[in-house]
Chain A
Amino acid sequence: MNQPGIELREVVKRHGSTVAVDHLSFSVRRGEFFSILGPSGSGKTTTLRLIAGFEHPDQGDILIDGRSVRDVPPNLRPVNMVFQHYALFPHLTVSGNVAFGLEMRGIARAEILSRVSAALDMVRLAGKDDRLPAQLSGGEQQRVALARALVNRPAVLLLDEPLGALDQQLRQEMQVELKTIQEQVGLTFICVTHHQEEALTMSDRVAVMDHGRVLQVGAPQDIYTAPASLFVAEFIGLSNRLDGRIAAVEGTRCRIEVPGLPIVQADVPAGAGPGRAVSVVLRPERLHVSKQAAPNGFDNVVPARVAKAVYNGHEMQYQLRIDERLLWTVRVPNADGGQKRFLPGDTVSVRWNADESVVLAQ
């Protein structure tokens, strides 16, 4: 189980003068749900196309199950792809689409029939086998695309923004369904997405990409709670940010000077010393709001004024004005049914402990 299913070694791909993928290296374990997360233009789709074989790396190598696929054309690679807009064959029925890969491999008719119907059962499309793609809803088309790829039992399944074309409701349903199917078939999934919630929900591990490079690879919790860089912190989830300079280091704690605010106490980032310019990143759900001005045991207290209060059912979302430049977002769960609410214009204090922030080098 621990042998990598896919390994990229120092892969470089240029499109004209721009570098789409820049010395990219990572490996994906067998049976893992691996997501590549990044903004558009970060090279994530190119990475997927390199693995599928639609593009050829300028440098570096790609290994699937330990074998280099550098010179293997797409039709001979043990990978299958779910395309962003599905790319279903419009002239073939649902079962014609799903059977396509098996037919290309010359599998016997009887086996094709049983495997196609098993695949359609799995994606809950039994009974729609002789429809044309145009007669299906977006969600159904998505599931046909999934069945068409899975039926070939590839070593790796590639998904390019698989839920991008679906509406919010369906998207959340499919997130769970995709993950369930992946666990059921036990295949390696590599999923490209710009949607961070999708990546966090479905993946065993996430790689965050930008400008053709991987910035961080890790489990969703690690990426969210311990981002390796400011880019990762701000790309994943909401975050409030304070820019300052380390004034003093005392053991594992440091004191950070932020212009216009009281001294901020935080855990010391690795390898940082006094004088270093840093950013303190605070997640909206880690902040505590109170009308009391006293620290009450918290390491940090900052006064603020409520600019906006939004009721979201399960939580309150506040926009807090710290000073002219800083507007923070804070989330308070409505555990008490929303009794303890603050109103716009209220003066409050925002409090947090040193270990509830992340300090990152600028």
Chain B
Amino acid sequence: MKGPAWRRRGLLAASLGNLLFLYLPIAVLIVYSFNAAKLAMTWQGFSLQWYAALARDHALMVACQNSVLIALVSTSVATLLGVSAAIGLERLPWRLRAWLDGALLLPLVIPEIMMGVALLLLFVLIKVPLGLLTVTIGHAAFNLPVVMVIVRARLRKLDPQLEEAARDLGATPWQAFRRVTLPLLRPAIVGAALLAFTVSLDDFVVTFFTAGPGSTTLPLKVYSMIKTGISPEINALSAMLVVASMCLVGLSLAVQRQRKIYSLIH
């Protein structure tokens, strides 16, 4: 924090500028969701009418349900598979592990649109009708590596002797896992699941390619509403989505940070 005053002031200005750049559009969006005006971007007084209108919009409520359902199921699947894969991989011989690592983490760097197209082609090829199931599978697919990366990072920091200590004290391999490894992984698993849930809730591209009739999600719905003109209703909806996502990501970070207590003694 030392240094000439002009430098400190410059840094402060740059940071504020960054924050404005990132959050101003969101702030505007949220503020205008409370605007009483029908169309104009002029402020005509505070109102909750657009939020009320959201609740009355049946199609929107269905999209909302779809989104939550898909996020819940795909997150569960991705978490279950991701955690098992992470633990399994740690126990593989080095060479095999390096190879599988690459294969399993590839989806993280593949452009999402390619993933969407690829999934669509696959589903058409094996004749699975597009719908809730295909969207859920698509989301689980891109969330699997996310969960795996987070859990493995934690797993690698665990002292391998902890499991040996448990075994030495009379625990079977399963007991050692349940009583020692799993509780120590829990913050990472919960954090990963929350992040996966958020990503699933917000996803547009993969959903766009894999959705069919009746499986419209919230992001898809917002997009289709925008095509017919920006209504303040969308502002309200987006504001809710943004706030929900931010809460989930914040929660995910908070849960993952808990591990600091655990790693103190190492």
CB pair A74–B168 under 8 Å, yes or no, is yes
The 3 closest A-B pairs by CB, nearest first: A104-B170, A101-B169, A134-B264
Contacts of B170 in A (CB 8 A): 75-76, 101, 104-105, 152
Contacts of A152 in B (CB 8 A): 169-170
The interface stretch among A77-85, A110-118, A222-230 is A77-85
Q: Mark B146-186, 1 if CB is under 8 A from A, else 0.
A: 00000000000001011011111111100100011001100
CB pair B169–A90 under 8 Å, yes or no, is no
Q: Interface of A with B (CB < 8 Å)? A: 52-54, 73-76, 79-81, 83, 85, 87-91, 100-101, 104-105, 132-134, 141, 148-149, 152
Q: Interface of B with A (CB < 8 Å)? A: 159, 161-162, 164-172, 175, 179-180, 183-184, 261-266
**A80–B169 Cα gap in the complex (Å)?**
7
**A91–B264 Cα gap in the complex (Å)?**
11
Question: Which of A52, A85, A91, A100 is B159 in contact with, Cβ under 8 Å?
Answer: A85
CB pair A91–B167 under 8 Å, yes or no, is no
**A76–B172 Cα gap in the complex (Å)?**
9
B131 CB, min distance to chain A CBs, angstroms: 42
A174 CB, min distance to chain B CBs, angstroms: 18
Contacts of A100 in B (CB 8 A): 166, 169, 171, 179
Contacts of A73 in B (CB 8 A): 167
CB pair A85–B161 under 8 Å, yes or no, is yes
Which one of A74, A81, A83, A149 has the greatest number of beta carbons of chain B within 10 Å?
A: A74
Contacts of B171 in A (CB 8 A): 75, 100, 104
**A88–B180 Cα gap in the complex (Å)?**
10
**A222–B261 Cα gap in the complex (Å)?**
48
Contacts of B264 in A (CB 8 A): 90, 134
CB pair B261–A132 under 8 Å, yes or no, is yes
Contacts of B265 in A (CB 8 A): 88, 90, 133-134, 141
CB pair A91–B184 under 8 Å, yes or no, is yes
Q: Is the interface of B mostly helix, strand, loop or mixed?
A: helix
A55 CB, min distance to chain B CBs, angstroms: 10
Contacts of A74 in B (CB 8 A): 164, 167-168
Task: Taking A87-B161, A87-B165 as given, write out 15 further A-B residue pairs in contact, using a Cβ cutoff of 8 Å, ordered by the A residue number.
Answer: A52-B164, A75-B167, A75-B168, A79-B168, A80-B168, A81-B168, A89-B165, A89-B180, A90-B266, A91-B183, A104-B166, A104-B175, A105-B170, A132-B261, A149-B169
- Contacts A141-B265, A152-B170 known; A54 to B164 CB distance under 8 Å? yes
- Contacts A52-B168, A75-B171, A148-B169 known; A134 to B161 CB distance under 8 Å? no
Number of A-B contacts defined by CB within 8 Å: 76
Contacts of A141 in B (CB 8 A): 265
**A79–B162 Cα gap in the complex (Å)?**
16
Contacts of A149 in B (CB 8 A): 168-169
A156 CB, min distance to chain B CBs, angstroms: 12
Residue of A nearest to B167 (CB): A74
Residue of A nearest to B264 (CB): A134
- Contacts A54-B164, A104-B175, A134-B265 known; A87 to B169 CB distance under 8 Å? no
Which one of B164, B167, B169, B179 has the greatest number of beta carbons of chain A within 10 Å?
A: B169
**A105–B183 Cα gap in the complex (Å)?**
20
CB pair A134–B165 under 8 Å, yes or no, is no
Contacts of B167 in A (CB 8 A): 53-54, 73-75
A–B Cβ pairs within 8 angstroms, 12 of them? A79-B168, A81-B165, A85-B159, A87-B161, A89-B180, A90-B262, A91-B180, A100-B179, A104-B166, A132-B261, A133-B265, A149-B168
Contacts of A148 in B (CB 8 A): 169
Contacts of A85 in B (CB 8 A): 159, 161
B120 CB, min distance to chain A CBs, angstroms: 44
**A87–B184 Cα gap in the complex (Å)?**
13
CB pair A134–B261 under 8 Å, yes or no, is yes
Contacts of B183 in A (CB 8 A): 91
A164 CB, min distance to chain B CBs, angstroms: 14
**A161–B180 Cα gap in the complex (Å)?**
23
Contacts of A76 in B (CB 8 A): 170
Which one of A75, A80, A133 has the greatest number of beta carbons of chain B within 10 Å?
A: A75
Contacts of A104 in B (CB 8 A): 166, 169-171, 175
Residue of A nearest to B172 (CB): A75
**A149–B266 Cα gap in the complex (Å)?**
20
Which one of A81, A149, A152 has the greatest number of beta carbons of chain B within 10 Å?
A: A81
Residue of A nearest to B259 (CB): A90
